[in-house]
Structure 1
Amino acid sequence: MPDLMTDIGGEEVAPASTGEQAYERIRSDIIFGRLRPGQRLTLEKLRPAYGVGISTLREILSRLTPEGLVTAEGQRGFQVAPCSAEDLKEIAALRLLIEKDALVKSFQAGDMEWEGRVVASHHKLARLEASLLAGDASRTQQWKRYDWEFHQALVSACGSKAQLDIHSGIYDRYLRYQMVFVIFRGLVAADEHKALLECALKRDAQKAEAILERHVQGCLDFAFQNRLI
């Protein structure tokens, strides 16, 4: 029987295996830009860094390939998926397609528990955004985690686990661009998050869709106007 630990809800859960931990670390290192776009992933060099064997690493990188985070080069091995303007546009369009639909469903079905998740997640995000606006850039990764938690909370009552899983994967690919190219629009983005919160509490899905579209398009405009990509 595996060792057990207690999660925040009091339930006993099995800790992640070494291979699963390595998968999460590599995935996170790609999303947050510690492994750079186009970087060749040499198994021998990765092995000491992540503490797993060659076969486990090959399995992890193969698993990350259909997620769009790694590309396989046939006999030449693996590399971190490259970034491009066209890829970002496609990912942004997919995010909007999935998230807007989930947003409408979630606003229709959300209960008080859902409202609580939305309010709590926005509170953390707003506090961290205020810190960033004050000039503290030391918690960028935590900021994006809270950003994800807020957007995930907004759609969490949509009623479809499959849709949430697809949204999660697309969001992570979108997030990689934000982290690699340091896309932070400051007060504009923070105000859009506040407006989305207000829409959620009023169940105004139509206005929320428009704000979300402006939110994502603003990110693209910022990247392209500043020639980050």
Structure 2
Amino acid sequence: MQKKNFASDDSSESVGDRVLRRVRFDIIRGVLAPGERLRLERLRDGYGVSVTTLREILARLVVEGFVVAEGQRGFEAAPVFAADLRDVCELRLLLECHALRRSMALGSLDWEAHVVSAHHKLQSVEARLMDGSPSSVEQWVQYDWDFHHATVSACDMPALMATHSNVFDRYMRYHLIALDFRGKPAAEEHRRLRDLVVARDTEAAVALLGAHVRAGMEHVLATGKFA
């Protein structure tokens, strides 16, 4: 099963890959703000790698949609705006709904157990957030990804899954910048999605996934932070 490590370092990675993940996550959570100039000298000091390595990293993030190349002006963190979120939302659903159908057709008993386990962890974090208890944003992001990825992890299309991972990050970027958890409705939808997936009720699960992701998008837009 794929594990997305948003913040923690993995000793098996190369330095370049580790810094790439750190820069991407700092863009996703708004530490590197939308539209911010990404000055190589400052990034070199902050991330501890050479300017040459940083150029390669930022070029990769341009392809992924997190950075914009400004010709001779260098690089900027990609801007955020409502129309982009709507596009990313629909792209996520296009990929994730297809992957969910494949997983529900092909998934084993172990896959079902993975879905249930991932939801249990997500549910615990969401319960703490709804109770007003301190909880790490990075932890919630990790467990939300873990659950949604678990539901589609039996999909047998690696290229689709890699693209979905990238699009999920772009969608989640808006949630982390907004910093406004949707609360009980989102948690209840996750619980219902778990049950529908385990029951192999494909059409109902796909319909709920669509409603869930679009509701999250509308909640973020309602914060008024994205024109």
TM-score of the superposition, structure 2-length normalised?
A: 0.93
Deviation at 1:216, TM superposition (A): 1.2
Query: In structure 1, which of residues 38, 42, 56 is the aligned counterpart of residue 39 of structure 2?
Result: 42
Deviation at 1:136, TM superposition (A): 2.2
One-letter amino acid of the structure 1 residue matched with residue 216 of structure 2:
C
One-letter amino acid of the structure 2 residue matched with residue 32 of structure 1:
R
Secondary structure at 2:210 match in 1: helix
The answer to whether residue 60 in structure 2 is matched with residue 78 in structure 1 is no
Using the alignment, how far apart are the partners of 2:161 and 2:115 within structure 1? 16
Paired position in structure 1 for 2:106: 109
Paired position in structure 1 for 2:88: 91
Bigger Cα displacement from structure 2, 187-196 vs 132-141: 132-141
One-letter amino acid of the structure 2 residue matched with residue 203 of structure 1:
R
Using the alignment, how far apart are the partners of 1:225 and 1:75 within structure 2? 36
Output aligned runs, 1:207-222, within 5 Å.
207-222=204-219
Paired position in structure 1 for 2:221: 224
Q: Would the aligned equivalents of 1:92 and 1:174 in 2 still touch at CA under 8 Å?
A: yes
CA offsets 1:140-165 (integer angstroms, 9 cap, x no match): 11001100000000001111111111
Using the alignment, how far apart are the partners of 1:116 and 1:35 within structure 2? 37
Using the alignment, how far apart are the partners of 2:11 and 2:179 within structure 1? 36
Using the alignment, how far apart are the partners of 1:136 and 1:71 within structure 2? 37
The answer to whether residue 190 in structure 2 is matched with residue 193 in structure 1 is yes
Kindly name which structure, 1 or 2, has the bigger radius of gyration based on alpha carbons. Answer: 1
Secondary structure at 1:79 match in 2: strand
Deviation at 1:22, TM superposition (A): 1.1
Query: In structure 1, which of residues 46, 54, 57 is the aligned counterpart of residue 54 of structure 2?
Result: 57
**Percentage of pairs with the same residue:** 46
Using the alignment, how far apart are the partners of 1:139 and 1:16 within structure 2? 24
The answer to whether residue 158 in structure 2 is matched with residue 161 in structure 1 is yes
* Deviant stretches of 4+, over 3 Å: none
Paired position in structure 2 for 1:5: none
Deviation at 1:183, TM superposition (A): 3.5
Query: In structure 2, which of residues 12, 16, 38 is the aligned counterpart of residue 15 of structure 1?
Result: 12
Deviation at 1:15, TM superposition (A): 2.1
Unaligned runs of 5+ in 1: 1-12
Q: When the two structures are aligned, how many residues end up with a matched partner?
A: 217
Bigger Cα displacement from structure 2, 65-74 vs 178-187: 178-187
CA offsets 1:93-126 (integer angstroms, 9 cap, x no match): 0001110111111011110110111011000000
Unaligned runs of 5+ in 2: 1-9
Deviation at 1:205, TM superposition (A): 1.0
Q: Would the aligned equivalents of 2:174 and 2:220 in 1 still touch at CA under 8 Å?
A: no
CA offsets 1:67-108 (integer angstroms, 9 cap, x no match): 000000000000100000000000000001110111111011
Secondary structure at 1:65 match in 2: helix
Paired position in structure 1 for 2:144: 147
CA offsets 1:33-85 (integer angstroms, 9 cap, x no match): 11111111000011111000111001100010010000000000001000000
Distance 1:83 1:206, change over 3 A: same
One-letter amino acid of the structure 2 residue matched with residue 176 of structure 1:
R
Distance 1:70 1:141, change over 3 A: same
Secondary structure at 1:41 match in 2: coil
TM-score of the superposition, structure 1-length normalised?
A: 0.92
